[in-house]
Structure 1
Amino acid sequence: MPELMVNEKKYDVEGILFDKDGTLLNFNELWMKWGTNLINEIVSMADSQIMCDEEDIGRYIGVSFKNGTWDPKGPLAIGSMGDLITVLSFYLYQQGMPWNEAVTMVFNVRENVDKSTQWTNRLKPIKGIRNFLERAYSAQIKLGVVTSDDTAQAENHLEILGIRDYFHCVIGHDAVQRGKPFPDMPELACQRLELDHKKTVIIGDSNGDMILGEKAGLLTGIGIVPKEIHTTSYLENANQIIRDYNQLRIKNSSD
């Protein structure tokens, strides 16, 4: 059986499950810029009805556009698209906009921003991920993606990055009844890939990823921290922590 080595610790593995945003692709390049466009458009459209401010509304989803920072525990970082629509709609409602109008506005703005986003230019892989996926795939480790993003959009992002073919399954928030941090996604992935939970690892950039790994009874949880975030304390349930994939090694059973 292949061995995964991280921080001098060895794990016998059959499968590895990955979060997507911040784990396979650079969160800042994609979602901070997408979020900036989303908020700017909402503020522009709402301006004739209510008073709202980009920085103020940004706090509701866990970002500071002024400082270019995000909360790794916030809605933009770990929430589903449905979560974001609800939170932003609630902000507009609090400012005096009728709820039905708020939801409709946020939903329509999100669709427009998605259509206008040049995904090819926004999607940047995490350092070392391509080589790591190639080594894992060559070692016959089954690979899956479990993401709070919608399945179709996740598939599209992986295709653009040129790494879709490495993964044996991709499971989005819309594929299960309960999203993160509930264990539904890793449980479904293990079922589809016929994986033993105790021989499956999860890699993610949020503590929610670590918690769902624990709830699903997975072998271990590896937290990955981007260079823009200096603390690692928010990954309190991680068994191991890395900064990029060059810190991981795979030893094939035939080596």
Structure 2
Amino acid sequence: MTIKSVLFDFDGTLADTLPLSFKAFREVFLKYENKLLTDEEIIETFGPTEEEIIENNIFNKDLVNEAIEYYYVIFEKHFHEMVTMPQEILDLLKELTLLHIKMSIITNKSRKCLDICLKNLGITDFFITTIAGDEVTLPKPDPEGIYRSIHMMNLRSDEVVFVGDSNADITAGKSANILTIGAHWFGTVQNTEFSIEPDHIFTRTEELKSFIKEL
């Protein structure tokens, strides 16, 4: 078995952006719905893009666009305060690049939100492709994004692994019949326990690097 590509989820896998997302959603729902949501309650809304989550949970539809803009105001305002580029993730991306491993991101984030993150973290150029949640018909746990990424890179399923921190990631990978890696190297992840067992669970990026080298 030879691995030629690593597909990554984004939130909780490549960057510890979940606390910032929680803050932005919490402020939106507090302002527009007068509800103070816990992290767990916010996670329960995950699946659609940020825009769709807000649209689905704001009662007054006339305020949806305003609420979405407010989300991004909060997200960008607090980005550098709450999100940093971990050296171990940067080292991982650099080493995989040196190994000529093609990398892709498959996320349920919106294109706008993903681009904000990649630009601010300075890691855009590491990835051959990035597929956002509003660029597929069916987001994860559906494997559409995985299939599209594999096709774009002209690879076979047995040449690819998918790395993510959520049940949706592992389900999507299993549905696409590719090797799945549960990423638990950040303090905040979507699922601390997987309902569907990944092929491997790594708590340090070094484990992923060693695994890819062995294959």
Which band: TM-score by shorter chain? 0.7 to 0.9
2:9 to 11, 19, 30: 19
User: RMSD value over aligned CA atoms?
Assistant: 2.5
Q: Are residue 70 (structure 1) and residue 40 (structure 2) matched?
A: yes
Q: Which blocks of at least 5 consecutive residues in structure 2 are unaligned? A: none
What does residue range 1-255 of structure 1 map to in structure 2 within 5 Å?
Answer: 12-43=2-33, 52-54=34-36, 58=37, 64=38, 69-70=39-40, 74-76=44-46, 78-89=47-58, 92=59, 102-116=60-74, 117-118=76-77, 119-125=79-85, 128-218=88-178, 220-225=179-184, 226-228=186-188, 232-250=192-210
Q: Which amino acid aligns with 2:35?
A: D
CA contact (8 A) 1:13 1:201 kept: yes
Q: Which amino acid aligns with 2:100?
A: Q
What whole-Å deviation, never above 9, does each CA across 1:97-153 have from its counterpart, x for those lacking one? xxxxx2232331121231343233333335621101100011000000001012233
Deviation (angstroms), 1:81: 2.2
Q: Identify the range of structure 1 (132-141 vs 149-158) with the bigger mean alpha-carbon deviation.
A: 149-158
User: Partners of 1:126 and 1:170 in 2: how far apart?
Assistant: 20
Q: Which amino acid aligns with 1:74?
A: E
Q: Which has the larger radius of gyration?
A: 1
Greater percentage in helix: 2
Closer/same/farther in 2, CA of residues 203 and 235 from structure 1, 3 Å limit: farther
- TM, length-normalised to structure 1: 0.73
User: Partners of 2:204 and 2:85 in 1: how far apart?
Assistant: 11
Q: Which amino acid aligns with 1:114?
A: Y
Q: Which amino acid aligns with 1:38?
A: V
CA contact (8 A) 1:123 1:157 kept: no
> Which residue of structure 2 lines up, in the alignment, with residue 96 of structure 1?
none
User: Partners of 2:42 and 2:209 in 1: how far apart?
Assistant: 26
User: Partners of 2:55 and 2:109 in 1: how far apart?
Assistant: 15
Q: Identify the range of structure 1 (137-146 vs 25-34) with the bigger mean alpha-carbon deviation.
A: 25-34
Greater percentage in strand: 1
SS in 2 for 1:222: strand
Q: Which amino acid aligns with 2:9?
A: D
User: Partners of 2:103 and 2:126 in 1: how far apart?
Assistant: 7
Identity %: 21
CA contact (8 A) 1:23 1:126 kept: no
